[in-house]
Structure 1
Amino acid sequence: MVDVAVVQTNELGDRSYIAHDGQVAIVIDPQRDLDRLQAVLDEHGLRCAMVVETHVHNDYVSGGLQLAHQHHAPYAVNSADKVAFDRQAVTDGDRLTVGDMQVLVVATPGHTDTHLSYVVTGPDGPAAVFTGGSVLYGSVGRTDLVDPARTEELTRAQYRSAHHLARLVDDDARIFPTHGFGSFCSSGSAAGGADSTMGQEKTRNDALTTDEDTFVAKLVAGLTAYPAYYAHMGARNREGAGPVDLSAPQQVSPAELSKRISAGEWVVDLRDRTAYAAEHLGGTVGIALGQQFATYLGWLIPWGTSLTLIGESAEQITDAQRQLVRIGIDRPDGSAVGTLQQLADGHETRGYRRATFAELAAAQQAGDPVTVLDVRRDDERAHGSVPGSAHLPLHSLLHHLDEVPSGPLWVHCASGFRASIAASVLDRAGHDVVLIDDEYATAVKTGQATG
């Protein structure tokens, strides 16, 4: 049986894979920080003999070309993809041999026009099917990234690709998708989980349990907003990305930091939202370092703009850099590490209140001037809201600051994370904000929200 090692990138909701026969390996859809993959290869004593891409990725910059160069291995990419580098061009029906493994290339358009899946078999045991953004656990990859005008066409292609794979492999074939673990490339009822087989997918997958028209209507209706940085990933992957540099960026003095803030540059504070709300350098943006850090920074920052990171330690800066290179933000323009008092050096510090939905209710009952601002996505808002609240999704806030109501703003999302980013953006713009650092579900339970 083909052995498969999983390398998870929880921050983007994706997985890379190493399929091997105990001696040589095929690496599928590698992320760009290759040291994690190399550690797995070394741990198992494997030689990387081939690198393959299921598709030109929309949600991250691939490390495939660089990994192939490092190991002098062929790099398999669809022959129909117009790329600026040498690759092993593959197409539907091709059969490749890697060690004791056989690889069947299968066209599975839908997520992208040129999407491929790879069926890998060994001398015995069930096949391993690497499905990229085609068949996911419980659903399929989204179909509106190539061209919104072609969404229905590609959704129908996605449905047919799923059925083609289901007919092609046995029920015990193991399914290994790249997306579906929190990635915005997922759609429908993506189930996550540790593993699945084609037989399991036949009982639960949206594409395999309904007719085509029902599937198309459901998937299209469920598509939500996706990060703005996706627009830059395809072009970068067609060019072919080089090695990453995770060395420490230039250290910025407090005086230089103040200068950059005053010039309106993006200076991002990595501390948690509680610390940021209590006190921060005026003019910064607070995006707590965590699993969603790169997604939301990449979504909000004007692409190509200067970026300086503020952290409590050098390790925080390095962790942030690792996340950022995956989406093509290769090098921050500087960093500053230390306590807020050390970094302020006379620069204005600000803070704002954190509150609960219960405290919001108390303020409203007391007749305080309160405007509630909901920064959730449109699809979330459609299920219910705080009556009388204003609505500006976080991802569009910077473009609609002139529409933000005046007066004190009580800002909420579903859990507090996105609201904390929005509060920092609004504070930067001079608004009087209160961060509702609470679960929206609490407001629903108490009757403050409609659902």
Structure 2
Amino acid sequence: MSFADDHLIALVDEGLGNSAYLVDLGDGRSLAVDAGRDLRTLHAAADRRGLHVVYAADTHLHADFLSGATQLAHDHHATVLASAAGQRMFEHLGLADGDEVDLGGLTLRVLATPGHTDEHLSFLLLDGGRELGVFTGGSLIVNSAARTDLLGQERTEELARAQYHSLKRLTELPDATAVWPTHGAGSFCSAPPGTERTTTIGDQKQANPLLAAPDEDTFVRQLTASLGTYPAYFDRLSEVNRRGPAVLATAPRLPALTPSQVSALLADSGHVVDIRPAADYAAGHIPGALSIALRAQFATWLGWLLPDNTRIAFVTGEDQDLDEIVWQAYKIGYERLAGRLAGGMTTWQEAGLPTTTTPFLTPDQTPAAPYLDVRQEAEYAAGHVAGALHFELGTLADHASEAPAGAVVACGHGERAMTAASILERAGHTDLTVLKGSPGEYAAAHGQRLTESGTR
């Protein structure tokens, strides 16, 4: 049995595409690496093994989630391990290249691996002189590397060159060394997103296309060419993490709101987010509500589409997990949560307040109409309906006036398309249809073939 099988627990956030790690150090002690603010899964894993978190290590100033390190320091009196160059404004053990931390039987050696961020560290876990594995955060990830444009376009190439040297340094480790990245499949910090969560140095030498680049310039071209867009909240969170996310004394809750309170919030420039499944939203919703179905990707779209300084009320369906709403919002720094509509749409309708509907149709039911594709650029390039108008969902609000009348709004399945329709409805489009299905299904139903290779 390997060390990872017996002593390491990977805690995967499928929505953000990230992994945190809990390392069993023995004697009831543990190390947490890149833990997020939503610590429910970590606490459950620690409780199952009877572990107490004594160290909380962060590989870098995260842009896509709030760190749980300050909370672990408060709850467990854990020592926070992080880069001294990050200039964090809370108590921590500042580390630099070559430093070592005695974990009591195991050793954590610090490797400076800038690129994703300036102060990025990787943590090499040693048992005596044997390399067990390396926590690579946002440097080397499975078959890729993390993006280098989060500190501004003007520094993208500079950081990509730093990333090249960081990856080369990591590949000098023995081939059998396990690689435990933070960013993975589904993470907008990946460039491009990987598919697996963990790997080894030897496997990456064989499989990672960036490591096959013959020289630094080629590496930089390949990495920067793969960079897509990322959520707007990424530009805010690294500074919040540098200051230290606020410690929560108790788990946050969503108060119950009356229809009149929700109506007043909307009138006062607040936002209503309807988290019900797309079909439920389509059947009847509050005019002006933003549809973001509660699923793994909820936090990403909440942070992409709404500012963090506005009050938000939620419309929920039966049996939806209110704690999940709160923690998805809090883990990306959205804390101005006014509450949720008590009784859902039933109480809204009973109060005599207005509702509206949105046609949600299968491909064979959709009319012949302009086709608006709101998927990410890479998805669109891989195959799209001929003649489609394309705007990524994250940019759609800026292009609402360009949406054609009577459009069929589409994504990969329907959830993002319903979100897009709710954005367009707020901008005055009231004649939209949302596709319940994929571009391929639509094309087949209308006797078409998908256009590939990015041609429009």
TM-score by length of 1: 0.92
Q: What displacement does 1:263 show?
A: 4.2
Aligned to 2:413: 415
Gap runs ≥5 in structure 1: 365-369
CA distance in structure 2 between the aligned counterparts of 1:199 and 1:114, rounded to whole angstroms: 26
2:342 aligned to 307, 327, 337, which one? 337
Q: What displacement does 1:219 show?
A: 1.6
Q: What displacement does 1:94 show?
A: 0.4
Aligned to 1:241: 245
Amino acid at match of 1:317: L
Aligned to 2:208: 205
- Mapped pair 1:94 → 2:92: no
1:347 aligned to 350, 353, 363, which one? 353
Is the 2:210–2:223 Cα contact (8 Å) retained in structure 1? no
Which range is displaced more, 170-179 or 238-247?
Answer: 238-247
1:62 aligned to 67, 85, 89, which one? 67
Which range is displaced more, 76-85 or 424-433?
Answer: 424-433
CA distance in structure 2 between the aligned counterparts of 1:15 and 1:80, rounded to whole angstroms: 23
CA distance in structure 1 between the aligned counterparts of 2:18 and 2:336, rounded to whole angstroms: 22
> Aligned runs of 1:298-447 on 2, under 5 Å?
298-313=303-318, 315-344=320-349, 345-360=351-366, 363-364=367-368, 370-405=369-404, 407-431=405-429, 432-443=431-442, 446-447=447-448
Is the 2:210–2:222 Cα contact (8 Å) retained in structure 1? no
CA distance in structure 2 between the aligned counterparts of 1:386 and 1:275, rounded to whole angstroms: 27
CA distance in structure 1 between the aligned counterparts of 2:223 and 2:443, rounded to whole angstroms: 27
Deviations for 1:25-49, whole angstroms, at most 9, x for unmatched residues? 2111111022322222222222322
After superposition, the Cα gap between the structure-2 partners of 1:21 and 1:86, relative to the gap in structure 1 and judged at 3 Å, is closer
CA distance in structure 2 between the aligned counterparts of 1:35 and 1:276, rounded to whole angstroms: 29
Is the 1:175–1:196 Cα contact (8 Å) retained in structure 2? yes
Amino acid at match of 2:428: G
* Paired residue secondary structure (2:36): coil
Is the 2:124–2:131 Cα contact (8 Å) retained in structure 1? no
CA distance in structure 1 between the aligned counterparts of 2:193 and 2:70, rounded to whole angstroms: 32
Which range is displaced more, 427-436 or 229-238?
Answer: 427-436
2:156 aligned to 151, 156, 171, which one? 151
2:10 aligned to 1, 6, 23, which one? 6
Amino acid at match of 2:414: G
1:228 aligned to 232, 244, 250, which one? 232
CA distance in structure 2 between the aligned counterparts of 1:394 and 1:123, rounded to whole angstroms: 50
Is the 2:25–2:31 Cα contact (8 Å) retained in structure 1? no
Q: What displacement does 1:416 show?
A: 1.8
* Paired residue secondary structure (1:319): helix
* Paired residue secondary structure (2:423): helix
Which range is displaced more, 212-221 or 222-231?
Answer: 212-221
After superposition, the Cα gap between the structure-2 partners of 1:331 and 1:303, relative to the gap in structure 1 and judged at 3 Å, is closer
CA distance in structure 1 between the aligned counterparts of 2:123 and 2:292, rounded to whole angstroms: 38
Is the 2:315–2:345 Cα contact (8 Å) retained in structure 1? no
CA distance in structure 2 between the aligned counterparts of 1:410 and 1:235, rounded to whole angstroms: 40
Is the 1:188–1:218 Cα contact (8 Å) retained in structure 2? no
Aligned to 2:124: 119
* Paired residue secondary structure (1:349): coil
* Paired residue secondary structure (1:350): coil
Deviations for 1:86-107, whole angstroms, at most 9, x for unmatched residues? 2111000001101111111000
Gap runs ≥5 in structure 2: none
CA distance in structure 1 between the aligned counterparts of 2:153 and 2:256, rounded to whole angstroms: 42
Is the 2:70–2:247 Cα contact (8 Å) retained in structure 1? no
Is the 1:34–1:63 Cα contact (8 Å) retained in structure 2? yes
Amino acid at match of 1:298: G
1:18 aligned to 18, 22, 25, which one? 22
Q: What displacement does 1:444 show?
A: 5.3
After superposition, the Cα gap between the structure-2 partners of 1:274 and 1:202, relative to the gap in structure 1 and judged at 3 Å, is same
Amino acid at match of 1:134: S
Deviations for 1:58-96, whole angstroms, at most 9, x for unmatched residues? 100101122023222321111111221121110000011
